[in-house]
Chain A
Amino acid sequence: METVQSSSSSSAPVSGIEKAPTGILGFDEITGGGLPAGRPTLVCGGPGCGKTLFAMQFLVAGATRFGEPGVFMSFEEPSDDLAKNVASLGFDLDDLTARGLISMDTVVIERSEIEESGEYDLEGLFLRLDFAIQSVGAKRVVLDTIESLFSSFSNEAILRAELRRLFRFLKERGVAVVITGERGEGQLTRQGLEEYVSDCVILLDHRVNEQVSTRRLRIVKYRGSSHGTNEYPFIIDRRGLEVLPVTGLHLSHPASTERVSSGIPRLDAMLGGQGFYRGTSVLVSGTAGTGKSSIAAHFVDATCRRGERVLYFAMEESPGQILRNMKSIGLDLQQWVDRGLLQLHASRPTLYGLEMHLVTLFRRVQEFTPSVVIVDPLSNLATVGSTTEVMVTLLRLVDFLKSRGVTAMFNSLTASGDEENETHLGVSSLMDAWISLRNLESNGERNRGLYVLKSRGMSHSNQIREFLLTDQGVDLVDVYLGSEGILTGSARLSQEARERSAAAARQEELETLQRRLDRRKGAVEAQILALRAEIEAEEEEVGKRVRQALMQEQELLADRAAQAAARQADSGTLDAGPAERQQ
């Protein structure tokens, strides 16, 4: 595995045998430099799997880029497709032939012309090949479906002996050979070519799964060299073959401490006050209509505003549609398109296989070098392949973007009713931050809620915010948190109104109480006054009677004294008698 890793940075393999680079993107990485130099390689696969193109690319790359001229010997009917394919790769075979960089030879054997009589060998072929090799000084040779010989000659024993001799001969010439072979039943090739080629065997596969075709490449064998053993997806497009190695076998992304704003101040506040880390992957998940694209649009806007480039992959909407829709929430993304800061790339996921999407994305990123990539929505890719495939593709994608320090935002549509813990294609573990958008349904209305499910490496808010789409864009407001739980939308508004009126009512009640108290106090005081007046009246009465009694007493005494004086009575004894009787 050492070779695989180290070779991605340099073309020289760490150890092992000398290699001939194929110039096929990705392939040289997984093989640690290319095909074995000076040795034969068998490239096999079914019809239309791209083996001829593989061989041709190897040859053309040798001739044009690595100073290794080559010989292309075809055993099949000369096809225009091949020349066209090569022309579409930007190479003119005729021109290369004229410049002595490539020698083309088509071996045509008309079975009907041939009569066999006695012993023969294929020395003619050897001489042809040898002559071609010497005429251009070839270091590379392609034998395109040498198996065709088996249908041309009836003596299989001779053929097999000659094939064995051919590979010995080619090894002696020190040329790297690519032999193509048609995939056979139960074995790699129909005629068992693999038994002659023991150095390197590559299997190409083209399968169609649910109407989506995928191409795979596997290195079955590579003697003397370490190599990746996985099945690698590859694509064929206008630039030829391209293999997608699983990058990021080692996690060595540089981790930036720089933060980038999400474009929504309240969201930044929830993310430790500063937004995302640069170069991380952000997942925005939610059910339909929760505002995922709007969040993305804000991020786009904020990034472009800083003068950085954004690449937007739309899997659902056309660029025009996105621009129009975002305008409705007050975001003019068209200006960034006009200024070359925003590129929108729309394609239906089902249009191509996953690999094609991945390659398109890779290329766009390489060409445009954006600082932010948006994929909206990621979940649509899931319709293309199996979960594992999608998972692997995303892994590659995330690794690729991280290795380039690109901040990525992936929108993921979750089916209604799914819990937030639903795995989202199993990608959540790849994501550094996860913003979950939820529909909060109550009282016959639907409102949007947002919360930060995770955000690696920063303290983040655990609060649910209500998420509003206004003419001025996204706004986050606090949800109502009260005894009645989380309330949003009109429920929140009415709850707030209820609270206001309740407060008013309480105030009124207090005032009433106060007034009642005051009244009572007044009444009591009045009572006190009345009582006091009563007491005073009584006091007065009593005083009056006391005074009267005293006066009567005095009068009585005066009377008695007068009587006593009149009767000359002894004052001591007579004094008390009449007074006691009187009372």
Chain B
Amino acid sequence: METEAKKWNLRLYVAGQTPKSVMALANLKRICDEHMHGKYSVEVIDLMENPQLARRDQIVAIPTLVRELPSPLKRIIGDLSNTERVLVGLDVVSRG
């Protein structure tokens, strides 16, 4: 693995405790623990509580996982049930 020096700064946008949100959070936890153990930080933002952030951060789909670091910025939308695509999106494994 070439991910030794990497650090992941992630934000997960959800809207209340919907099944999709719950699912996304669970999936994220699992993936992070498995692939980025100790090298990540996740902030969960509930847009139900802070709706103005949706505009600021250009959120349309829910759930959206925003990869702040490593740059460039990346958005992974969905309940993160497709682990392969999440890993690609987080740049944990390179494509192909």
Which A residues fall within an 8 A CB radius of B? 105, 107-109, 113-125, 127-128, 130-132, 149, 152-153
For A109, A121, A132, which residue has the most chain B Cβ atoms within 10 angstroms?
A: A121
Known: A117-B78, A123-B15, A127-B47. A109 touches B55 (CB 8 A): no
Q: Are B73 and A113 in contact, CB atoms less than 8 angstroms apart?
A: yes
In the assembled complex, how far is the CB of residue B68 from the closest CB belonging to chain A, in whole angstroms? 12
Q: Would you call the interface of chain A mostly helix, strand, loop, or mixed?
A: mixed
CA distance A107 to B57 in the complex (A): 10
Closest 10 CB pairs of A and B: A115-B89, A118-B81, A118-B78, A131-B51, A123-B62, A124-B59, A118-B79, A117-B85, A117-B82, A117-B78
Within the assembled complex, what's the spacing in Å between the Cα atoms of A41 and B90? 41
Chain B residues near A117 (CB-CB < 8 A): 76-83, 85-86, 89
Give B19's nearest chain A residue, CB to CB. Answer: A119
Q: Is A131 a contact partner of B55 (Cβ separation < 8 A)?
A: yes
User: Is B58's beta carbon under 8 Å from chain A?
Assistant: yes
For the complex, what is the distance from the CA of A185 to the CA of B68, rounded to whole Å? 41
The total of chain B residues at the interface (CB under 8 A) is: 36
| Chain B residues in 8 Å Cβ range of A107 | 58, 60
Least CB distance from A395 to B in Å reads 49
Q: Could you list some 22 contacts between A and B, CB below 8 A?
A: A113-B72, A113-B73, A114-B76, A114-B77, A115-B74, A115-B88, A116-B78, A116-B82, A117-B86, A117-B89, A118-B78, A119-B20, A119-B23, A119-B79, A119-B81, A121-B62, A123-B61, A125-B60, A125-B61, A131-B54, A131-B55, A149-B60
A108 and B58 form a contact (CB under 8 A) = yes
Q: Are A132 and B75 in contact (CB under 8 A)?
A: no
* Cβ–Cβ < 8 Å partners of A122 in chain B: 60-62
Which among A115, A120, A132, A153 is the interface contact of B55 at CB below 8 angstroms?
A132
Partner of A105, one of B13, B55, B72: B55
Report Cα–Cα, A287/B85, bound state, in Å: 79
Closest to A115 in B: B89
Question: A120-B20, A127-B15, A131-B52 in contact; A109/B60 too (CB < 8 A)?
Answer: yes
| Interface flag for B48 (CB, 8 Å) | yes
Cα–Cα, bound, A119→B22 (Å): 12
**Is B62 touching A118 in the complex (CB atoms < 8 A)?**
no
- Of all chain A residues, the one with the shortest Cβ separation from B52 is A131
Residue on A nearest B54 in the bound complex, by CB: A128
Q: Which of A113, A127, A131 contacts B75 (CB 8 A)?
A: A113
